[in-house]
Structure 1
Amino acid sequence: MESARKVGIVGYGHIGKYLVDCILDHPNLELAFVWNRTPSVMQGKVEEGYILTDLAEFVHIEVDLIVEVAHPSISMQYGPLFLQHADYMMGSPTALADRKLETTLRKLSAEYSHAVYIPSGAFWGGEDIRKMADMGTLLGLNISMTKHPSSFKLLSPLMEKNENVVQRTVLYEGPVRELCRLAPNNVNTMAAGAVAAHNLGFDGVQGSIISDPNLPDWHVVEVQVTGPTNPKTDQTFTVKTVRQNPSQAGSVTGSATFKSFFSSILGATGKDSGFHLC
């Protein structure tokens, strides 16, 4: 009988709590540890034996997969150390917009034979886009995200622009790399797209975020893919998908994303070193 995979969770917000409960209920998974910046949040909800107060102490715990669902800064600070001991699933892949971090994680992944997993989340069609990137036929990828103003957590100058929104407003349109810096909590979907579209990367993939006060119950993600043009017919390969994710106003993460994250944990296994969507 195959032994249960040991999973450590970094972050105990809404998604982290959901994942911990799912892992404890799953027959093929075992909770290795849980860490949160504020440990008191976990008291009475997580057994003491699972709680880490110092994240660096994970090195003394047997773990197969470490899952970050806290903040991009976790990957900056601990990502290299995680990969020396286990596979790593980045719930905040906007951290990869930092070129130095991406290069470091790719190097350590190969050196220690541990995979880096990127959850697809609200990103639809990621594997097809990756295949096009592998073949060099992916020529363009545009991802837009529309949310209620209260569902955005932004840095200046987008924060101030969003605070003054009274009607549907495009807050940003341009390369995903800069958008990841300005909206690190909101555009993980776009970061996943940039990883899948590796021939375009964070500079070539285009992203836009739209603030709409008349959209209180949904997060809308549109993905548009462009491929080659047939020289005989002058027709261009295009695919456009629209995902409407139920959500409450003020919520950064849509409700459907919770189940998607846990599905990604189940799929985060069996891969060689390198970056993989799951």
Structure 2
Amino acid sequence: MQEDYNELFWFTVVARERSFTRAAALLGVSQSTISNAVKRLEERLGLRLLIRTTRSVSTTEVGEKFLSAIRPRLDDINDDIADLMRYRDRPFGTVRINLSDYALESVVWPKLRGVLREYPDVNVELHCDNGISDIIEERFDAGIRLGERLDKDMIAVKIGENWRLVVVGSPQYFEQNPIPSTPQDLATHNCINTRQHSAGGLYAWEFEKDGRDVRVRVNGQLTINHPASMIDAVMLGYGLAYLPESFVSDRIKNGDLIQVLDDWCPLFEGYCLYYPNRRQNNPALSLIVDALRIK
């Protein structure tokens, strides 16, 4: 039986995304093209691979077995092609990276801008996710996380200096509320929370002093996962926030924000880019790694 490898690959994307619409957007082809291709595959095999409803798409039992059988083989083909691309004069291809919004804004994007202009055949997909994703399961080429949170059995390259979060509030807020002297004092303050996507819970603010670690679950009216919006809320006096120091250092210097609990705010290990060993021969990924690594 002669197989159409596009059909096989498109089926794996639909199965992973559980949506023809999302698969079409990722692949850059029409939804009807993918749907017809999967139907042809099912007809040729004489098997029903997907269950389609108006709201979602899922694999049948045999579809899941088929997916488990072909996905490793397709991965091997992609890896072999990527290995052959080392012989091209210039890197090309798509690199998918999972990272946090802070890593994107503070480390990755400033370093990548020039690289993308110089190498127009290299495409980069940056997927912001403040949780901790399985980059292999979700078919990313690489992930970027703090060094202390890296997956095991990965090649890791440090791309960012150590950094820290700081507690800030506006002068307007502190005109009506006392300045906290210990992390426990935050329990009486209106604080702006951040929700962790992977765990679903609110981030517990982490502090350290003289070898003593303290985690505080704060309360407040707002929960925001977007740093710029959080800074705006703090500036308007809606409460205290725990933000990367580089995002607010200028506002602290000019007096727009007041930093508190400075001696309780620890340094975190800098960001690392990590990827599976089998991806190390991907020339486009190697280009990105070299651009991001600390020189």
Structure number with larger C-alpha Rg: 2
Which is helix-richer, 1 or 2? Answer: 2
- With a CA cutoff of 8 Å and minimum separation of 6, indicate the structure with the bigger relative contact order: 2
